[in-house]
Structure 1
Amino acid sequence: MKWAVGELGPFPLEAYGLMPLDTDEEVPFGFHALETHTLTVYDPSYLSSTPVESVAPHMMHELVHSWFGGSVTPKTWADNWISEGHANYYGLTYRFAQGWTTNDGRHGSMESVMADFYRSGDVYRAQYGPVARPTKESLFSEQVYRGGPLVLYALEQKVGKAKFRQIERSFLTVYEGGSASTDDYIAHADRIAPGQGVKGFLESWLKGTETPPMPNHPDWKATPPPNGR
Structure 2
Amino acid sequence: MTGSGAAPGAGWRRRCSRALPGVLLLALCAGCTGGAGARGADGGSGAGAGGAGVGDALFPRLGNGGYDVRGYRLALDYAPGSRHLRGTARITARADRPLRSFHLDLAGLRVRKASVNGRPAEVTRSGTELVLTPASALPGGRTFTATVGYDGTPKTLTGGDTGKEGWIRTHDGAVALGEPTGSMTWFPGNHHPSDKAAYDIAVTVPQGYTAVSNGELKGQETRGRRTTFRWHSGEPMASYLATVAIGRFAVRTTTTGEGLPAYLAVDPTEAAAAKGLAERVDDVIAWESRTFGPYPFSSTGAIVGHVPGLGYALETQTKPFFDAAPDQTLIVHELAHQWFGDSVTPRLWKDIWLNEGFATYAEWLWEEDHGGRTAQRIFDDFHDGTDEESEGIWDFPPADPPSAASVSDPPVYGRGAMVLHQVRRAVGDTAFFTVLRTWLKDHRHGNADTKQFIELCERISGRDLTRLFDVWLYGEGKPKRP
TM-score by length of 1: 0.77
Out of 115, 118, 142, the residue aligned to residue 383 of structure 2 is 118
Displacement of 1:213 after TM fit? 5.2
Partner of 2:475 in structure 1?
208
Structure with the largest fraction of helix:
1
Partner of 1:2 in structure 2?
286
Pairing 1:36–2:316 present: yes
Displacement of 1:78 after TM fit? 1.1
1:158-197 matches, within 5 Å, as 158-194=426-462, 196-197=463-464
Whether the 8 Å contact between 2:317 and 2:338 is mirrored in structure 1 is: yes
Pairing 1:18–2:302 present: yes
Q: Distance in 2 between matches of 1:13 and 1:132?
A: 27
Q: Which runs of 5+ in 1 are unaligned?
A: 48-54, 101-107, 219-229
Partner of 1:103 in structure 2?
none
Which has more radius of gyration? 2
Is the partner of 2:314 in helix, strand or coil? strand
Q: Distance in 2 between matches of 1:181 and 1:204?
A: 18
Could you give the per-residue CA deviations for residues 169-225 of structure 1, whole angstroms, max 9, x where no partner exists?
Answer: 10111111111111111111111112x2124422332112244455xxx4xxxxxxx
Structure with the largest fraction of strand:
2
Whether the 8 Å contact between 2:398 and 2:416 is mirrored in structure 1 is: yes
Is the partner of 1:17 in helix, strand or coil? strand
Could you give the per-residue CA deviations for residues 62-116 of structure 1, whole angstroms, max 9, x where no partner exists?
Answer: 111011001100111110110010001011210232124xxxxxxx332222112
Out of 406, 409, 413, the residue aligned to residue 145 of structure 1 is 413
Partner of 2:425 in structure 1?
157
Partner of 2:73 in structure 1?
none
Q: Distance in 1 between matches of 2:298 and 2:322?
A: 20
Could you give the per-residue CA deviations for residues 100-133 of structure 1, whole angstroms, max 9, x where no partner exists?
Answer: 4xxxxxxx33222211222359x743x2x11101
Partner of 2:167 in structure 1?
none
Whether the 8 Å contact between 1:57 and 1:92 is mirrored in structure 2 is: no
Q: Distance in 1 between matches of 2:479 and 2:347?
A: 25
RMSD after superposition? 2.0
Question: What letter corresponds to residue 397 of structure 2 in structure 1?
Answer: P
Is the partner of 1:39 in helix, strand or coil? coil
Partner of 2:399 in structure 1?
132
Whether the 8 Å contact between 1:189 and 1:199 is mirrored in structure 2 is: no
TM-score by length of 2: 0.38
Q: Percent identity?
A: 30
Whether the 8 Å contact between 1:187 and 1:199 is mirrored in structure 2 is: no
1:46-65 matches, within 5 Å, as 46-47=325-326, 55-65=327-337
Q: Distance in 2 between matches of 1:40 and 1:72?
A: 16
Q: Distance in 2 between matches of 1:78 and 1:119?
A: 26
Instruction: State which drifts further: 12-21 or 110-119.
Output: 110-119
Could you give the per-residue CA deviations for residues 140-187 of structure 1, whole angstroms, max 9, x where no partner exists?
Answer: 111111101000000000000110001111011111111111111111
